[in-house]
Structure 1
Amino acid sequence: MRFALTEEQLSFGAAIDALLGPADVAGACRGWAAGETADGLRLWGRLAELGVPGLRVPEEFGGTGSTPLDLAVVCERLGYHGVPGPYLESVALAPALPIDAAVLTELAKGTARVSVAAPPHSPFAVDADAATHRYLLTGRTLASARVERSLTSIDPTRRLALLAPVEVVGVAGAHVLDEVVLAAAAWLVGAGQRLLDETVGHVTARRQFGRPIGEFQAVKHALADVRVGLDFARPLVRGAAHALGSGAAGTRDVPAAKVLAGQAAYRAARTALQLHGAIGYTRELDLSRWILRVRALIGAWGTPAHHRARVLDGPAGS
């Protein structure tokens, strides 16, 4: 199977980079963590102009009806830039849910933001206070929901909430969470790559004993291990996207991608923290945004243990 991206997918990823690269994403994240969502919502609106929220919304509702591989490409770039907001739930999960057509149309326009809790694997809703629509998925039963109480997350840009059901709106498919698990895996790869890039820049500039610390063999080996991990995880994520695109619901590829992406991103986070030294622990350094997001996403939409069990229990040949 050929995992290379098409020119269109590469161009879409480059367009996201061109939009978010010069933007003050760090400032938007700091504001979002403090409950000031204006800058983050402006970023949401600009990404909506590129068609990001409507990526998986069918064309009849104003979306682009793109493939799971397109979703993986976009989420990797969003993870690389570390944008705040319920993108995983809105872009990847909401179009797969049995929700009203009007909500899908709003998603495609970029005027809707969806937050979803799905206990036990994702018991709390992310950014429910900034969402326009909230849902609680219990088993396969989907209900509209309201915020019962707010909670804190290890990642301050992911504000959590416990939801209470209001009204049943439909019954979801058996493998409705596959796409959001795929999206989380792609996001982890993007975050891991950003941590690697930031660390390479740091060890190139930081000097000890008259030399950049990046010239020391131990540092080179640590960074090489991170690179190898990410290079193994990325094609597995794309392979999982191909499997979903071919209609392989419940495929082992999706949980396997989530596990390996989490491992690769966690290694990137640990290495980045170690090689940055004491400044890596500070909230003032933007590095912490990706470190904390990685730690939060590793357990989001299913723990590594849950997904390893899915791989073991998956249908033969999947």
Structure 2
Amino acid sequence: MKLPRSGRALAAGAVAVATLISGGSMAGAAPAADTAPAALAAPDIPIANVKAHLTQLQSIATANGGNRAHGRPGYQASLNYVKAKLDAAGFTTTVQRFTASGRTGYNLIADWPGGDANQVVMAGSHLDSVSSGPGINDNASGSAAVLETALAVARSGHQPTKHLRFAWWGAEELGLVGSRYYVNSLGSAGRAKINGYLNFDMIGSPNPGYFVYDDDPTIEQTFQEYFAGLGISTEIETEGDGRSDHAPFKNAGVPVGGLFSGADYRKTSAQAAKWGGTAGQPFDRCYHSSCDTTANINDTALNRNSDAVAYAMWELSR
């Protein structure tokens, strides 16, 4: 998640010529209370698989100066890792190139073949970290959950009515540069085809909360139904409002939603009573720091939120 407007370094020269590189592939989870026919129910997302992606992204950061930031080797290696998984699973992948702060950045888009191309359901997360750390909660957590959901689509052979698309954004930490570039590149006709964009930024915070975006009632209700099935009370997400990659979509009139487990705001006593954890401490004490490593993840929150990603993608694409 990028810094608030008052504290972040704004991207300079964010527009360049888009370069498309084709390749190929993509993938979905549900609560026990789901009563849809078995063929339409989302599968459970294996937490071990999600954590394996985190381990790989941590290793990439460690081997590349301790980060996966825009324009650095660690980001390129992260993108290559995700793309290889999707290509092997049968997605149609596209790499979109842009320029920000004098460095080349990349978005990765993965389309699952089939479904109505005029009705697109899309999930995304930013893949870049800040330069000060490996960015495992912010935002390898969202990136890994979206990746494993895409791979679950492929494993299940899921063929929904609507078209599924997954995305990993570059240069989010410089001011939502990659996602804004993508939204602008679609044009009004392309944006009108997106029924919903779901954003996942920081979903494994070590002192977690369960926050749901309230921007679109249908998407919000879908997530609320999932968490209600687990007996978990959620709150409306406010800390990151406008500070992550859903904002360019929302500003362009696309319905948006998503999940968040908290950044540097402090958990209240009421929230600790509801969700556990430690009152008076940040949801993520390692936010934008070198200690945002694989040790900075709450497995329970990551597991629940990863399953929620898949549940929403299955439900909204019927």
**TM-score if structure 1 supplies the norm length?**
0.24
**TM-score if structure 2 supplies the norm length?**
0.24
Higher relative contact order (CA 8 A, sep 6+): 2
Greater C-alpha Rg: 1
